[in-house]
Structure 1
Amino acid sequence: MNKLILPCLVTFLLISCNPTTNHFSFIYNNEGPNREIAQKMEKLLESEFYNVDIHLVEGVGTDANLDSLEQNRIDIALVENYVNYRDGVNSAFSVYSEVLHIFYQERLDVTSFESLMYDKLLYIGREESPTYNLMMDLFDFYGLDLSRINVTFNMTESVVVVELTNLFTKRELQNYQGFKLFSFDHVENIGNASVVEGIALKYPRLEPFVIPQGAYWDFTQQPIVTLSVDLVMMVRSGMLEVSVNDFTKTMLRNRQIFTSIDPLLFDGLREDFDQSKLNIPLHEGARTFLDRDEPSFIERYAELGGVILSIIIALWSGIVSLTKWQAQKKKDKIDEFYEDLMNIKNKIPSMQKVADGMSMVKRVQVAQNKAFEMLIAEKLVANDSFRIYMELSKETINELRGKMRVIKAKLERTTS
């Protein structure tokens, strides 16, 4: 029995140290640095949590990604904060600010936002994308006549290209040779009721943003005043609070891993980001971390505790069943001894020869020795059944010897 318990305990320890893996799906749009951000997040979470597996999914658009969250087909998503409220979706934390870039061909005579937008082919992203929605709000803010705005979904044929993304590299800007960057205002007006501050007042999810002089080489011979919107890590509302808490804490406290991707992530991944600007409310798991209301030990390890308890119950049931099986097996063995002994006892009344009696006595003694050997080897138990068998075997030997004395006495009377 002891030889069997030890392997069972080892198996239990191995299983309890490796509970069921939790699988999470993470969707992102392959725009700007989002793929690299998602890949680094995947690597970080899987290295920090041994029972977590992250499956990355490349999305086809912001609305489709939110649909996947809302319908519980996806757990995590990178989504711009410029989306409408959805049931079943919550924010976790701000990742970085996406900057509105409006490129236009140098040959155009641009004196205002209106002159840039009217009667020209504009590329403003996919329909219902955050870029598209933002530009529609800008058209509304400036009170533009939509009949004079020509939108194309083919970037190559457009003379005005709008991108909501991270900061461009010098290599990426080569795609915009012959273009200029539009500035909404003069930088000295920031803080003095500038137009971008008016836009942000009406659309509070937007913030004024300045691309400094020289940051984009020839594109920024003067500072460019524009707008930005936060990219947010969002989760499905039904995701466990402990998981969201752990993921939020892990990624915000390891922000240095992400800052090499783009400078905007240095200020984006912060614990003190402005939660009031989130268009989709925080998940309770993220809130508990940001407010330092950490889950209790029981809440954090409830799932693991349930797994371990299930394993303990299963293991205990297995040990009990094994014990019963071992006991039954030993009982079956002693029953074999009983059966053999009863066969001998039944033959005693009809026994006619002393030699037969001696043979049966030896048979009983051999069985006694074998029973003792099995007892020492723990193949039999020294219980009442064993003790009764030993007493019964002694009694049988005495009966055999008594019968042999009777046979001898008869033989002596016959020969005399």
Structure 2
Amino acid sequence: MKKLIAPLLVILFLVSCNPTTLTFSYIYNDEGPNRQIAEKMKELLESEFNVEIMLIEGLNTNANLDSLISDRVDIALVENYVKYREGLNSAFSVYSEVLHIFYKDGIDGSSFESLVHDNPIYIGKEESPTYNLMMDLFDFYALDTSRIVVAQEMGQASIVVELTNLYTKKELQNYQGFHLFSFDRMNNMGNASIVDGISLKYPRLAPFVIPQKSYWNFTEEPVVTLSVDLVMMVRASMLDVSVNDFAKTMLRNRQIFTSIDPLLFDGLREDFDQSKLNIPLHEGARIFLDRDEPSFLERYAELGGVILSIIIALWSAIVSLTKWQAQKKKDKIDEFYEDLMNIKNEIPGIQKVTEGLTKVKRVQTAQNKAFEMLIEEKLVANDSFRIYMELSKETINELRGKMRVLKAKQERATS
């Protein structure tokens, strides 16, 4: 039995290590810092867990969401301005994308109405977050949609709308001859300004200020605009423990990501406003954010089931093996009994003292062998063994008694 304990412990250790590598796929649009975020996330999660993260470059937001809903991918980075769909959940906020409205020289940018009326405007692909946001703005301003000319290509537009991270100086060179539209003056913010009204009606939008000089000649004055959170989303069927681990690891290692873009510094936060999520929070992320960590049993329930099955199978095998070994030992002691009973039956027929001596040695040899097997655990010190030892002593006494009788006869015969 002792010999079985070591292999059992080794098997349990190997199972508990859970050597199986889990694979998760992450789809992203290659724009702004998204690729860098994806690569950093892959590096971090693979170093923390026994997982492999497959990075997939997506086509657009809607295609990425379709991949999530159909379970073709596990994780996606999506704006919190998409319509609710079954089959996906939010995990955590990553950073805020800023609404940039560039317009060419010569266009009246004194108001939103004068800006977009009768001027070709590019607002992204239909049903994209940028498109949906602009449609909401057209509705908010109660614009005459017959006077809105939507350009299908960026190069055909006098006004270009982009929902993205903060631009670098090199990226802004593509907009030479353009200006940035500001919804209001900065000192009006917080005093029932237009952006306050927009964010009140569309709570997933937040007022945002591009500070003076941060965009060089584009921001001679602060630009008041809007922002929307970019959210890490997961398929709804993803395990709570996986989402919990990923969210906790990402948010608690935010310093790794903040060097990518300044917006990530305030974006990756555990205290983001969950009520503003357009897609409900995944239970695994909620568990982490509410500090309702899964118990040991919940975390390892699936693995525990496997371990339990293995333990039951091993225990059944051990019980069977123990019974087999016990039966084997019983068969061995039965062989000793059989030999001893043969000797006892032969005692009446012994005619010479030498025959008796031979049989005594035979019994003593069997006794010694039985003790050796007992030490080697080939026999058990149970009642059968004890009875055998008593019976063998009794047999030796009978043999010696028989020999004494034979010696007496021989002495009478010679005298």
**Per-residue deviation at 1:75?**
4.4
- Partners of 2:156 and 2:178 lie apart in 1 by 13
Do residues 205 (structure 1) and 204 (structure 2) align? yes
Q: 1:22-53 CA distances to partner (integer Å, 9 max, x unpaired)?
A: 847353413322233234344444555x5x52
Do residues 334 (structure 1) and 343 (structure 2) align? no
Partner of residue 35, structure 1: 35
Partner of residue 380, structure 1: 379
Distance 1:162 1:403, change over 3 A: farther
Distance 1:377 1:144, change over 3 A: same
Partner of residue 5, structure 2: 5
Q: 1:172-206 CA distances to partner (integer Å, 9 max, x unpaired)?
A: 33444454433334444434544433433332211
CA contact (8 A) 1:123 1:158 kept: yes
Which amino acid in 1 is paired with 2:80?
A: N
Q: CA RMSD in A?
A: 4.3
CA contact (8 A) 2:12 2:307 kept: no
CA contact (8 A) 2:91 2:234 kept: yes
**Per-residue deviation at 1:308?**
9.1
Q: 1:218-240 CA distances to partner (integer Å, 9 max, x unpaired)?
A: 33333333221011223444555
Partner of residue 303, structure 1: 301
Partner of residue 124, structure 2: 125
Q: 1:156-186 CA distances to partner (integer Å, 9 max, x unpaired)?
A: 5655443211112223334444544333344
- Partners of 1:356 and 1:161 lie apart in 2 by 119
Distance 1:335 1:166, change over 3 A: farther
- Partners of 1:277 and 1:20 lie apart in 2 by 39
Partner of residue 53, structure 2: 55
Query: What secondary structure sits across from 1:369 in the alignment?
Result: helix
Distance 1:367 1:173, change over 3 A: farther
- Partners of 1:197 and 1:120 lie apart in 2 by 26
Partner of residue 65, structure 2: 66
Which amino acid in 1 is paired with 2:224?
A: V
Which amino acid in 2 is paired with 1:253?
A: R
Query: What secondary structure sits across from 2:214 in the alignment?
Result: coil
What TM-score, normalized to structure 2? 0.77
Partner of residue 87, structure 1: 86
Which amino acid in 2 is paired with 1:109?
A: I
Do residues 216 (structure 1) and 223 (structure 2) align? no
**Per-residue deviation at 1:10?**
5.2
Greater shift, 318-327 or 218-227, is seen at 318-327
Which amino acid in 1 is paired with 2:281?
A: L
**Which blocks of at least 5 consecutive residues in structure 1 are unaligned?**
none
Distance 1:296 1:277, change over 3 A: closer
**Per-residue deviation at 1:125?**
3.0
Greater shift, 381-390 or 243-252, is seen at 243-252
**Per-residue deviation at 1:387?**
2.7
Greater shift, 336-345 or 60-69, is seen at 336-345
Which amino acid in 2 is paired with 1:269?
A: L
**Per-residue deviation at 1:63?**
3.0
Distance 1:205 1:397, change over 3 A: same
**Per-residue deviation at 1:98?**
0.5
Distance 1:201 1:327, change over 3 A: same
**Per-residue deviation at 1:150?**
3.7
**Per-residue deviation at 1:263?**
0.8
Greater shift, 36-45 or 160-169, is seen at 36-45
CA contact (8 A) 1:242 1:299 kept: no
Distance 1:202 1:394, change over 3 A: same
Which amino acid in 1 is paired with 2:12?
A: F
Q: 1:252-296 CA distances to partner (integer Å, 9 max, x unpaired)?
A: 33322221111111121223323332222334444455455x347
Query: What secondary structure sits across from 1:151 in the alignment?
Result: coil
Which amino acid in 1 is paired with 2:269?
A: R
Distance 1:29 1:338, change over 3 A: same
Query: What secondary structure sits across from 2:5 in the alignment?
Result: helix
**Which blocks of at least 5 consecutive residues in structure 2 are unaligned?**
none
Which amino acid in 2 is paired with 1:53?
A: V
**Per-residue deviation at 1:251?**
3.3
Query: What secondary structure sits across from 2:388 in the alignment?
Result: helix
What TM-score, normalized to structure 1? 0.77
